[in-house]
Amino acid sequence: MARFETPHPLMGRRALLKAIVAGAGLAAVPGLAACGGSDKGSATDTVSFGNNLSDQVPKDAITAVLQAFEKESSLKVAINTKQHEQYQEQINNYLQGRPDDVLAWFAGYRMRFFAGKGLTGDLSDVWSKVGGGYASALKEASTGSDGKQYLIPFTQYPWGVFYRKSIWQQRGYEVPKTLDQLVALATKMKSDGLVPIAFAQKQGWPGMGTFDQLNFRINGYQFHVDLMAGKEDWQSPKVKEVFDTWKRLLPFHQENALGREWQEAAQSLGQGKSGMYLLGSFVAQQFKGPDLDDLDFFPFPEINPAHGQDTVEAPIDGYMMARKPANEAGAKKLLEYLATPAAQAAYLKTDPTSIATVSNADTSGYNAIQKKAAQVIKDAKHITQFLDRDTDPRFASDAATNGLNAFIQNPNDIDSILKGMADQAKTIFTG
Amino acid sequence: MTAVQDKASGQADPGGTAATSPPPYRRTRRATALPSGDKLVLGLMLGIPSLVHVLFVWVPALGSIALSFSSWDGIGGFEDIEWVGFQNYVDIFTRYPRFWPALQHNLIWLVFLLVLPTVAGLLLAVLLDRQLRFGRLYQSALYLPMVLSLALVGFIWQLIYQPEQGLLNNLLGTADDHPTNWLGDPDINLYAVLVAAAWRHTGYVMLLYLAGLKSVDPALKEAAALDGASAFQTFTRVTFPVLKPVNIVVLVVTVIEALRAFDIVYVVNKGRNGLELLSVLVTDNIIGESSRIGWGSALAVVLLLISLGFIITYLFQVFRKEERA
């Protein structure tokens, strides 16, 4: 044991100790840096911007908008882009760390949840300036439970049934107005050798769109709101009817949906293998040039005459402010700018698959899809966000996604699947 | 180890050497006494790793266990945590439709990995040990998947399994007419993914056995041959028993591999629809917009208990053997 003594032990040990401390310090740095956003030292002339638009087209579009803002305001914008789905998964930690001054998010329940926890900044004074440009439904969707506004709406896109005009003309198909007409049309498409309804559920959320359409067409807007808020029972006959109707339509859907991504389903529509596709208007991102001009859509057909086609699913994307922004004045200035028709038009020029949210936006540059989207949203009596944006994320990400997947796989198991969803809703919405 | 144990048993003996002859005992103590400088060094060398271990292994593990009795969304401080007792466990066992399938899949994963890659790896190792021509080439080719991360393996095999454009359906000629949905059909996707995982794991097992085979004394085989044993008999009676320590390494490696399985299913479909694993459920519940920290922790504790079962069994085996030795 005594052999452990070395000639200059202390020197060696100290050096070692220093190295350990330095090493631990270095190891800790990237971990800490990852917690917050970008570094904001003296930031009176810079606004940091948390961007979730990671795909090339929308990313270029938002960059162009921010550059225009820089020119106009003499402020600099530091863009901090994260991969779209990762951004959503990390939002909880991101908001509790050092988030960017202005950050991307969605309207509805998901906005209210974080606003209610005090994790985002009050934008009531910005709204008092820009509010005149927005319809009341948009203001409502941007308002937290305490009556204050926490979001600046930027763009919006409706869900509908998309199809190719040329193929429909050639085959003599007509837009169905009721569920029975839809079934008749789908039957005809099947006998013509087409897959009537393209379908993809690999990402877990597209099927929620189908559920929503059926639910508010059958049970109406208010039931959708109450069910999403956990006030209605998933085992009720009303929900069962939604799934029974879906089961009737399922044989017309593209097979193997659980192994397919929405982009692939959109391509089968583009190639003329499928007759129609129920999705958000972002489906147009998969169509280019003449194919894009050939694309058209209609709102989901009526099922219950009491509700008609009064509801449209049209999620709103927008921007929030950090609860303690490093540059509050600059952040509010940027948010005010994002509420202008010019900023939204600049964005939509590069990404023409959604529409502006301000009512006086310049729509002269809209393509046919955008024009129709704007009209459909304007005509709607009620606007919903989307299943995963209208309910508690804990319910949406696990119970709802897996429940719908299980139904698509085994449509005959409706009762046990609904029991599973109802049980989980009880554990989530009560505590 | 044995020396320490002997000493320990000596001290424990009440009427033994310690009581009857204190002087030699004290002398031993003095001999191990260290100058204070060395004590400091030893203290640091033991203390820092212990501290790191406690801080990064025990504190989080105990923290998880504590949090598993709570309902918490991860926002705010300790005062926002609501304690719910065993409610999470009760709910998970009785009301969570994904739990039992996940547990079952974890066990299938374990059994499958223990059987297929182990047998295949052993077979390949024995073949390669026979000094085939281009043996090194085969060896490298078979080991190559091991250098890839399991997530990357997932990406590669998706190209093979894709229904319409994938390699497998096109080779089978089923791509155009009702292709098999290898990764989308919950009845078969677990096994499809397991084949991909086994593809990677086999190379690892093969290499371990190959190393073991190289260390088998050729004289043993020679002696068996002289006794008139066939090649098969030589393998089962002589070579395989010598490989026993390697078997234990393979077993441990495989159990670890099976319990930590996560990345490949997460890449394929986020561990949904037939690919549920406990690790996926933990991740799904803890990471995300509004996390269910308590619920996810309870799932993690279940996974911990299963792991502990294997670890304790393994340690028992090892220590019993050492005692016998």
Average pLDDT over residues A304-327: 93
pLDDT in tens, A24-66: 444 444 333 344 444 444 457 899 999 999 888 889 899 999 9
Task: For residue B202, tell me if it sits in a domain.
Answer: yes
Rounded to the nearest angstrom, the minimum Cα separation between B255 and chain A is 28
Task: For residue A301, tell me if it sits in a domain.
Answer: yes
Residue B27 has pLDDT above 70, yes or no: no
Kindly report the pTM of this predicted structure.
0.77
Enumerate residues 365 to 424 of chain A having a beta carbon within 8 A of any beta carbon in chain B.
392-394, 397-398, 401-403, 405-406, 409, 417, 420, 423-424
Asked if residue A110 and residue A26 are part of one domain, the reply reads: yes
For the record, the structure tokens of A220 come out as 């109406």
Task: For residue B53, tell me if it sits in a domain.
Answer: no
Q: How far apart are CA A421 and CA B122, in angstroms?
A: 46
Nearest to A394 among B179, B269, B292 (CB): B292
Q: How far apart are CA A344 and CA A366, in angstroms?
A: 12
Asked if residue A142 and residue A278 are part of one domain, the reply reads: no
Are residues B289 and A91, on separate chains, in Cβ contact within 8 Å?
yes
Are residues B97 and A89, on separate chains, in Cβ contact within 8 Å?
no
Mean pLDDT is lowest, of A140-144, B160-164, B304-308, for B160-164
Task: For residue B54, tell me if it sits in a domain.
Answer: no
- Please list every residue in chain A whose beta carbon sits closer than 8 Å to the beta carbon of residue B185: 256, 258-259
Residue A153 has pLDDT above 90, yes or no: yes
Task: For residue A196, tell me if it sits in a domain.
Answer: yes
**CA neighbours closer than 13 Å in the CB half-sphere of residue B274:** 23
Mutate to test the interface with A, among B269, B273, B293 (most CBs of A within 10 A): B273
Task: For residue A320, tell me if it sits in a domain.
Answer: yes
pLDDT at B17: 43
Does any CB of chain A come closer than 8 Å to the CB of residue B38?
yes
Task: For residue B222, tell me if it sits in a domain.
Answer: yes
Task: For residue A244, tell me if it sits in a domain.
Answer: yes
pLDDT in tens, A86-109: 898 888 889 988 899 999 999 988
Decide which of A19 and A197 is more confident.
Answer: A197
Task: For residue A354, tell me if it sits in a domain.
Answer: yes
Q: pLDDT grade, residue A175 (50/70/90)?
A: very high
Decide which of B3 and B325 is more confident.
Answer: B325
For the record, the structure tokens of B138 come out as 């085969």
- Look up residue B33 and give its DSSP letter: -
Asked if residue A303 and residue A229 are part of one domain, the reply reads: yes
pLDDT at B64: 92
pLDDT at A334: 94
How many structural domains does chain A have? 2
Does any CB of chain A come closer than 8 Å to the CB of residue B324?
no
Enumerate residues 229 to 258 of chain B having a beta carbon within 8 A of any beta carbon in chain A.
none
Decide which of B134 and B32 is more confident.
Answer: B134
In sequence order, which residues have a C-beta less than 8 Å from that of residue A90 and are 6 or more positions away?
A: A82, B287
Task: For residue A365, tell me if it sits in a domain.
Answer: no
How many structural domains does chain B have? 1
In sequence order, which residues have a C-beta less than 8 Å from that of residue B102 and are 6 or more positions away?
A: B276, B277, B278, B280, B281
Mutate to test the interface with B, among A3, A4, A11, A408 (most CBs of B within 10 A): A4
| Domain at A407, CATH number | 3.40.190.10
For the record, the structure tokens of B19 come out as 């009581």
Asked if residue A56 and residue A143 are part of one domain, the reply reads: yes
Task: For residue B245, tell me if it sits in a domain.
Answer: yes
Decide which of B112 and B72 is more confident.
Answer: B112
Asked if residue A165 and residue A264 are part of one domain, the reply reads: yes
Exposed, middle or buried, B4 (CB in 10 Å: 0-12/13-18/19+)?
exposed
Average pLDDT over residues B79-84: 85
Number of cross-chain residue pairs from A and B with Cβ atoms under 8 Å apart: 115
pLDDT at A43: 53
Minimal-distance CA residue of chain B relative to A404: B273
Name the average pLDDT for chain A: 87
pLDDT at A104: 95
Asked if residue A349 and residue A233 are part of one domain, the reply reads: no
pLDDT in tens, A274-303: 999 999 999 998 888 899 999 999 999 999
Asked if residue A188 and residue A137 are part of one domain, the reply reads: no
Asked if residue A106 and residue A135 are part of one domain, the reply reads: yes
Task: For residue A413, tell me if it sits in a domain.
Answer: yes
Does any CB of chain A come closer than 8 Å to the CB of residue B71?
yes
Are residues A397 and B74, on separate chains, in Cβ contact within 8 Å?
no
Asked if residue A253 and residue A142 are part of one domain, the reply reads: no
Rounded to the nearest angstrom, the minimum Cα separation between A405 and chain B is 7
Nearest to B91 among A92, A405, A427 (CB): A427
Task: For residue B27, tell me if it sits in a domain.
Answer: no
Neighbouring CB atoms inside 10 A of A90's CB total: 17
Domain that holds residue A113: 13-156+316-360
Task: For residue B70, tell me if it sits in a domain.
Answer: no
Q: Is the dihedral of CA B64, B70, B76, B77 positive or negative?
A: negative
Among residues A118, A120, A132, A127, the alpha carbon closest in space to that of A149 is found at A127
Enumerate residues 262 to 321 of chain B having a beta carbon within 8 A of any beta carbon in chain A.
269-270, 272-273, 284-285, 287-292
pLDDT in tens, B92-105: 998 888 899 999 99
Asked if residue A298 and residue A340 are part of one domain, the reply reads: no
Task: For residue A152, tell me if it sits in a domain.
Answer: yes
pLDDT at A183: 96
In sequence order, which residues have a C-beta less than 8 Å from that of residue B294 and are 6 or more positions away?
A: B67, B68, B69, B70, B71, B72, B81, B84, B88
Average pLDDT over residues A14-26: 46
| Domain at B177, CATH number | 1.10.3720.10
Domain that holds residue B157: 98-291
- In sequence order, what are the beta bridge partners of A320? A103
Q: pLDDT grade, residue B175 (50/70/90)?
A: confident
Q: pLDDT grade, residue B25 (50/70/90)?
A: low
Asked if residue A198 and residue A70 are part of one domain, the reply reads: no
Asked if residue A354 and residue A235 are part of one domain, the reply reads: no
Neighbouring CB atoms inside 10 A of B173's CB total: 9
Q: How far apart are CA A388 and CA A110, in angstroms?
A: 8
For the record, the structure tokens of A52 come out as 């979730």
pLDDT at A13: 47
pLDDT in tens, B270-304: 888 889 999 999 988 888 776 888 999 999 999 99
pLDDT at B31: 55
ipTM: 0.72
